[in-house]
Structure formats: structure tokens, C-alpha cells
Chain A
């Protein structure tokens, strides 16, 4: 099994990521083991800043958890165009994670500021 978690600076994020993994994969114990700091990371972070998703497009393999962190002074959301996922509103420094379990292209946007768009490509 791939390492599907990486150590993210904040414990909140880690807990969020874990919660998703446990819920999504049912492999809670493996996910926990994978979180040990010496293992290489395979989670991906998208930073929300200056009304943009950075990087705008990310390519990941199946099983990867993508975490969006809002670094703006204004709340944003992360909403899949095809309704595959939808965050609650993220205020400054709040995060949202989603574990991608199926191959495909996942275009998404901020429902408050729809000019903000991004894409996750799962291979």
C-alpha cells in the first residue's frame, strides 16, 4: 500500500486527513502507521491565496488525499463541478481534504468567487 498521508504542519489538518482516510478506505490502522514522520509523503496540498488555487492543476494517483488550505483574508469554498466533493465555507487558515479513490478529471471552483477554478487529475 502506498503511503497516503504526509505530515502536515498543523495537527488539525492531520486529523482532518485521517478522518477522511478512515472514512473513505476503512484502513484506519494502516493510515495511522503511514503517518509516521520518516515515511515519504504522498498527500498533496493546494494553497488558496490571492483568490487563486495554487497549483491550479494537480496530478495525483488513486488514493491520494488532497488538502486545500485557505490563506486568504476572505472565506472561500472548494466545490467540484460534477458534485463529487464540496467543502463547507473555509475561513482563513481552515482546510478541507478529500481522498480521491477513482481515476478521472475533477474540475472544481470556489462557489463564492467562481472565477477561481482548479482541477485535480487522478491517474
Chain B
């Protein structure tokens, strides 16, 4: 048990009053492999030998689910010649979680080139996971054909428009948004007017105490616009979610952990299961980052999320594959 928690980073924002210093500390967690919990607005670090103290009881919530992202099936460059192998390792990791997740979210770039055989391989590997239901949103690599036809035929069942959707699980309202279609020259990710209108309508009648989880491929906050890591009309989407006490935003696309707290909203990005990308501005471009083979799995991973009734925020835990 202790072994499986060794490389965890716990983001438990059960608070909404995080100052700039707190935020900077949050940023410092990313990728350190350390273990922190936010209690009463104070960041508390736990030595790895004390992880068991917040083990089972704190880890078990009302609802557990897992986010995986950026599996890029079909990618075969030096940054990771075996993306099927690392996706299988992610599934093993999911199956070894102390609390079995009820379902999975895949936040896009399922495939590398939108090829049917790439989607087939991912579907086949994910069948090995203990959690059977998977809710997808597309990444830009999944909609390379005309208007994402192949993606929508396969994963769009029950969705609206270009693949957006909402559903409820144990009192938590989930919203899957699509921000990788109809992108404009020079711009960022885009939700578009039709989707925004749908979102406004979707949340209008919900109680403000309803916990909200939003998942989408490209970050819904300006992580690094110079590299296109942001969504141009995300502020409008977040405005519709202002009344809610707890909003958790889960994104992919940037292949690394980043997070930010803004009022009642916590933003998290996930590691990829395929290859890491450089930190913002730390390389010439956001292309795949080649690391020594023995370090690769330490930069890939999964995210599991627990909801505790009565607490404001969800606990978001990232674990690396190796």
C-alpha cells in the first residue's frame, strides 16, 4: 500500500481563500513527487513516511473517478516509441488504486492522427481497466478528419453539437466541453457561441451547492498563450459557473501537471500517458520532450479524483507511472 502511494501529489483544495503565496507554493508542487495537503488555507507537507496517516480514511470519498489524458496512440517518435505500453501501464496503475474508481474521463488526444486503428487500440487497452465507463472529450489530434466525424461516431453518443455533454454522478454535475474545433488563425482553443449558450442553459437550474466538474482538452485558463495553452472564450464559460461553491476544472493538452486556484474554481492539468512536454517557455517549442528512458515513466501518469460530501473542493491526486 505504501509503495503505491510513494509518488503521489495530493491537491486537496478544501478552501477558496488561497493568496498569491499559496498559489506559488501550489505551482511548486508540480512534478516534485512530494505529497501536500491544503488545510485551512495552509499548505501542509507530509513526509512520505507519514503518508499512511492520511491514507484510507482521507482518500475514500463519496465518489472516485480517474482522469487519463493525451494517450496519442500512433505516436512513435523517440520521446516514446511505445505509447501502447505506457497506456497499459496507466491501466495497471488505475487497477491498483486503493479505491476503485467508478468511471474514467479521457481529456483528449486519444489518438495521434485520428486513425480508426489508433482509436481501436486505445479502446482495447482501456477495456482492461477496472472502471468500465469512459467519458471522452476530443483533443485536436482526434478531429483531423472532416469536423471530427470519426471521433463523434465512436465517442459522441449522447453528446450535443460537436461532442459536448453533461451528466450527473452522486450529486456531482460533470460537464465535458470541446475546445479544439474551428480554431482561428493566431488564436487559442475555442468553445464557440453555440456551446457557450448550451452551457449557460445546462447549469441555469442547478443549485449553487452542486459540485461541478468541468473537463476539456485545452486548459480553460491562460497557462501560456504564447504556445496556445489557453482557451480564448473560457472566461465566458467560467462566468456561467460563478454561482457554484465548488468548481473543479480538469484539462490535458500540456502533458504536465499545473494547477491554479481562483475563487471557488480549481484548475488542474494532467500528465500524458504518452510523452512529456517542456515547461512553458523552457524550450523552443512545446513539442515532445525526449528524456532518458529510465525517467520517462516518472513524467507520465494518471489523475484520480475524490469527492467528499460537505467539503467544498474535490481532492485531486496525480500519480506517475514509474
Mark A residues whose CB is within 8 Å of B. Answer: 50-52, 72-75, 81, 89, 91-92, 107-109, 111-115, 117
Contacts and interface: CB of A to CB of B under 8 A. Distances in A.
Interface residues of B, number: 24
Nearest to A80: B185
7 contacts: A51-B287, A72-B285, A89-B144, A92-B77, A112-B141, A113-B228, A115-B226
Centre residue among A72, A91, A114 by max chain B CB count within 10 A: A114
Interface in B157-194: 183-188
Mostly helix, strand, loop or mixed at chain B's interface?
loop
B210 to A, nearest CB: 34
B112 A73 contact: no
B79 A73 contact: yes
Interface of B: 77-79, 112-114, 140-141, 144, 183-188, 225-228, 284-288
A71 B246 CA distance: 44
Nearest to B226: A115
B54 to A, nearest CB: 39
B113 A75 contact: yes
A39 B19 CA distance: 67
Contact of A115 (B114, B141, B186, B287): B186
Nearest to A116: B228
A120 B312 CA distance: 53
B185 A107 contact: yes
A10 B112 CA distance: 25
A73 B183 contact: no
A26 B284 CA distance: 42
Given A73-B79, A115-B226, A50 B285 contact: yes
A114 B184 contact: yes
A81 B287 CA distance: 24
A114 B187 CA distance: 6
Contacts of B79: 73
A75 B144 CA distance: 10
A115 B113 contact: no
Contacts of A111: 183
A112 B287 contact: no
Contacts of A112: 140-141, 144, 183
A52 B141 CA distance: 18
B228 A114 contact: yes
Contacts of A108: 185
Contacts of A107: 185
B185 A109 contact: yes
A4 B316 CA distance: 58
Nearest to A118: B185
B283 to A, nearest CB: 9
A98 B288 CA distance: 29
Nearest to A81: B185
A15 to B, nearest CB: 22
Nearest to A92: B77
